[in-house]
A and B are shown apart, each in its own frame.
Chain A
């Protein structure tokens, strides 16, 4: 870690928005201005809990980190997902399921260190599980079933 400082400090206090500080413990503390829309994902609590529980269960069972990305991937969704992937947590031993709602695109990527367990076939499995729900307009359901199907196909670490 000491040999490189490309990600240190992780948070630059000068770059934080108005009303945000880095506390002594390193935590970022920010204000919410009264009357503004909360800065949170536009999903209800049930959906977020379901997603969180699924990610926790499957990550714990497979020891492969599952990451979900929802947002614009650009005109070329595949290239966008390739660009997002290295910046996700533990990218080399993770699975990224990226959805770009504006482009109607789903991209699944797995990391190099788990490529023997999460190969292209299992990525396809996750993509098709997500697509069947996404085509019915169920975003969170699609992501949950993709994570569950991939987790079941990967199995426990040997």
Chain B
């Protein structure tokens, strides 16, 4: 075997196999679904409501807070929980 044949067999063929398999992966979709269409103000909001919060942050300052904790939400009327309020239209 000449050097050329050796290179073709041991480098060329593996490269072709590699290329075919890599090429096949581009046939599929990158994601198994679709991202929701980006929302801009003016469009109609059709998604479910979004509630965002800094979930990992701890705000309570210890146990003296417990009397105002989740129990208050049960015992008092809903409007009692509200301290300040503001409204606006755009």
Q: Does B45 contact A (CB under 8 A)?
A: yes
**Chain B, Cβ-Cβ closest to A47:** B38
Q: Which residues of B contact A81 (CB under 8 A)?
A: 87
Nearest Cβ on chain A to B40's Cβ, whole angstroms: 7
Task: Report whether A120 and B86 are in contact in the complex, using a CB–CB cutoff of 8 Å.
Answer: yes
Task: Report whether B33 and A34 are in contact in the complex, using a CB–CB cutoff of 8 Å.
Answer: yes
Residues B50-82 near A (CB distance < 8 A): 50-57, 59-61, 65, 68-74, 78-82
Number of chain B interface residues as a range? 35 or more
Count chain B CB atoms within 10 A of each CB in A41, A83, A131 and give the residue with the most: A41
Task: Report whether B54 and A109 are in contact in the complex, using a CB–CB cutoff of 8 Å.
Answer: no
Number of A-B contacts (CB under 8 A): 198
Q: Does A108 contact B (CB under 8 A)?
A: yes
**Chain B, Cβ-Cβ closest to A103:** B89
Q: Does A106 contact B (CB under 8 A)?
A: yes
**Contact check: which of A70, A83, A139 meets B78 at CB < 8 Å?**
A83
Count chain A CB atoms within 10 A of each CB in B52, B69, B72, B78 and give the residue with the most: B52
Q: Which of A11-19, A20-28, A50-58 contacts B (4 or more CB under 8 A)?
A: A50-58
Number of A residues near B (Cβ < 8 Å) is: 82
Nearest Cβ on chain A to B9's Cβ, whole angstroms: 40
Q: Does B49 contact A (CB under 8 A)?
A: yes
Q: Which residues of B contact A59 (CB under 8 A)?
A: 53-54, 57, 59
Given contacts A56-B57, A67-B53, contact A82 B87 (CB under 8 A): no
Cβ contacts A to B, 19 pairs, < 8 Å: A32-B32, A37-B35, A41-B36, A41-B47, A59-B59, A64-B59, A65-B53, A90-B60, A93-B65, A102-B44, A104-B90, A106-B89, A107-B86, A110-B82, A110-B85, A114-B83, A127-B87, A131-B88, A138-B41
Seed contacts A34-B32, A77-B87; 6 additional CB < 8 Å A-B pairs: A56-B57, A68-B53, A88-B53, A90-B60, A93-B59, A93-B65
